[in-house]
Structure 1
Amino acid sequence: MNNTDAASKNWFDQGGSAYAKFRPEYPAELAAYLASVAPDTFLAIDVGCGNGQLTRQLAEHFSSVAGFDPSEDQIAHAAPQENVSYRCAPAEDLPLLSRSVSLVTAAQAAHWFDLPRFYDEVRRVAVPNTIVALISYGVLRMDGELGARFERFYRDEIGPFWPAERKLVDSGYATLDFPFTELESPSIAIHLDWPLDEFLGYVSTWSAVRNARDSGREDLLHRFAADIAERWGAPATRHSISWPINMRIGRL
């Protein structure tokens, strides 16, 4: 694919599997850290698990892991694993026994929850000293002209189409009520080298992109894709991209 083809491709019509295909994986050190501070490694749950990116990584450290998400489509795209189970369930009504869970994670999901009800569920299912971790990754970072063009797109062009909850992610959940004994979070980031198709495939998974399309503003999306393709170089060229990981970690 040359740059002319890349500029004209409809990058924003990826279908239901795009989330599983293009969302960045968390670094292995995140799950390892969470396991190290949990009271034991019998059962971890990942709430709002999506397609199970963090869920699967937790399974490297816990005897059993359960992922819960209200979206049947997300659960359908979750990869099976021997000690991992998935169920379609909301964060506020988890099909779990009381006092059974040692780690509760919510990765890129807590801003959608009814937090008081979710916290009530956490208290119900938690064993003593259970760890609760609300995890998000911030706005991606790129260098040079690519970074400047992305920043303008994110803040000014697609910005009005983000749901209000996105501001909670951008702040690293700093303003969320978090009624637990808080632990200091380690410094962790996602670092990837992506070609053009993976970068724009990731952008296609944003809720703001869906909202822009539904509002008849695909012109914003196509203009951004064309501008990025022009600055990218050969589409197969890999550029460094990073996301800071933000966490609120507490102990019950």
Structure 2
Amino acid sequence: MEREVTSYFDENSDLYQKARPHYPPAFIRWLAQQCRHHDRVWDAACGNGQAAIDLREHFAAVEASDVSSAQIDTAPPLDRVRFSVQSSERTEFDDAAFDAVCVAQALHWFDLDKFWPEALRLLKPDGVFAAWGYGWPQLPLRLAALLQETLLNVIAPYWAPQNRLLWAGYQGIALPSPFMRIDAPPFDMAVEWDVEQLFMYLHSWSATRKCMEEQGDAFFRRSHERLREQWGEPRKLRLALDLHVIAARKPA
């Protein structure tokens, strides 16, 4: 499974860096407020470092790791952030090393039976665990229907089953004992994209790339062309995304 998951993100890792939305600053502030101390945080499955960029504003040091060396290679150099290539289910970090363990847009890829013991091992007493991910961009109805017809229906068979955990808002993931759940308030997440930015994001999807490998990219180019014809004004649309959060505290 680890090798398969790695392959989803090794290819076009620079595209992934450019295309993915940023997380709401209000959510990152809320997360930091749940922590008693702010010395060290682990950004597990960090990808190209999007969450690490935000976390370093609130923590003295960030350890950011990912199983994909290609993702780590595209991460920008950041003060107070150390990147490493490691599996999130088995790391080289010391016991009780972190005030917070964070997983951005990746929990659904983990072997949770192995990850939960590792997260508990690495958290300090009273430390905070948080995982979050976002869903589909919400397009105007006329564009949403066209995208469904020309792209989403085509790539539907190519989604990995793990993605469905995220689409369901992580409701199918249970926190193990002794974690104590922290209820997170809703947070607004949105992007302002033109049609080119939207399709850069759609191109970064693992299902899109797998479909292209089997069918070629003609379907993608047709979808892009048809949405561009119907996009209209304004050139950039504000597109909301649902942010799903799981948060918990390790007992002191």
Per the normalisation by structure 2, the TM-score is 0.89
Instruction: Give the corresponding residue for 2:14.
Output: 17
Alpha-carbon distance between aligned partners in 1 of 2:201 and 2:181, rounded to the nearest angstrom: 32
- 2:147 is the counterpart of 1:150: yes
- Aligned pair count? 238
Q: Following the alignment from structure 1 to structure 2, what is the Cα–Cα distance between the partners of residues 132 and 30? A: 14
How far 1:181 moved relative to its partner?
Answer: 1.3
- Aligned equivalent of 1:248: 246
SS at match of 1:96: coil
- Corresponding residue for residue 30 of structure 1: 27
1:194 corresponds to which letter in structure 2?
W
Give 1:226 shift: 1.8
Cα 1:20–1:60 shift into 2, 3 Å: same
Please list the CA deviations of residues 193-219 of structure 1 after superposition, one character each: whole Å capped at 9, or x if unmatched: 112221110111000011101212533
Please report the RMSD computed on the Cα atoms of aligned residues, expressed in angstroms.
1.7
The CA deviation string for residues 121-146 of structure 1, in whole angstroms up to 9 with x for no partner, is: 11111101111112110111011311
Displacement, 1:154?
6.1
User: Using CA pairs below 8 Å that are at least 6 residues apart, which structure has the higher relative contact order?
Assistant: 1
Aligned to 1:5: none
Residues of 1 paired with 2:217 and 2:46: CA distance? Answer: 29
Pair 1:46 & 2:8 matched: no
Does the 8 Å contact 1:161/1:211 carry over to 2?
Answer: yes
Residues 51-105 of structure 1 show CA distances to partners (whole Å, capped at 9, x for unaligned) of 1111110100001111110011111111111111110101011221111111111
Structure 2: unaligned runs, 5 residues or longer: 1-10
Q: What's the TM-score, normalizing by structure 1?
A: 0.89
Go from structure 1 to structure 2 and tell me whether the alpha carbon gap of 1:223 and 1:172 turns closer, same or farther (over 3 Å shift): same
Distance in 2, Cα, partners of 1:196 & 1:41: 39
How do 1:211-222 residues align onto structure 2 when only pairs under 5 Å count?
A: 211-222=210-221
Whole-angstrom CA distance in 2 between matches of 1:29 and 1:139: 20
Q: Report which stretch shifted further, 153-162 or 136-145.
A: 153-162
1:124 aligns with 2:154: no
Secondary structure in 1 aligned to 2:242? strand
CA contact (8 A) 1:153 1:159 kept: no
Are residues 1:85 and 2:79 paired? no
Pair 1:155–1:16, CA change in 2 (3 A): closer
State whether residues 190 and 242 of structure 1, in contact with CA within 8 Å, keep that contact through their aligned partners in structure 2: yes
CA distance in 1, matches of 2:236, 2:137: 15
Letter in 2 for 1:61: H
Instruction: Quote how far apart the aligned CAs of 1:224 are.
Output: 1.4
1:170 aligns with 2:163: no
Residue identity opposite 1:175 in structure 2: G
Q: Counterpart in 1 of 2:191?
A: 192
Q: Give 1:46 shift.
A: 0.7
Distance in 1, matches of 2:104 and 2:218, equals 31
Runs (4+) of structure 1 moved beyond 3 Å? 151-155
